[in-house]
Amino acid sequence: MEPKLNSAELEPTYLERAAKEDLGYSQRRKLEALKSYNIQINFMDRGCVIQVGCKSIAFESVEQAMAELVNYSKNPEVVQEKWRREFGEY
């Protein structure tokens, strides 16, 4: 015979609910950051140029560019900050 659980034991705790809500908020922020700029990739004879919004970034190899693009898709706010510094916007 299985033990019976009361409804309080089945519901997630406050901390579990907060963690899920925070994850959702974090995912929404990430998605909004990704949607902020159009991304265009232009392949060249050697490497490529990725345009994000009005900024263009040249890469010597396609592999290097794709690695940076993957990093951008995982952490758009962090990478945006990095490139703003590179462009001297702060």
The domain limits of the chain are 7-86
CB atoms within 10 A of CB 65: 19
Instruction: Convert the pLDDT of each residue in 39-74 to its tens digit.
Output: 999 999 999 999 998 889 999 999 999 999 999 999
- Cβ 34 vs Cβ 53: under 8 Å: no
* Count of residues in the chain: 90
Please state the pTM of the whole predicted model.
0.65
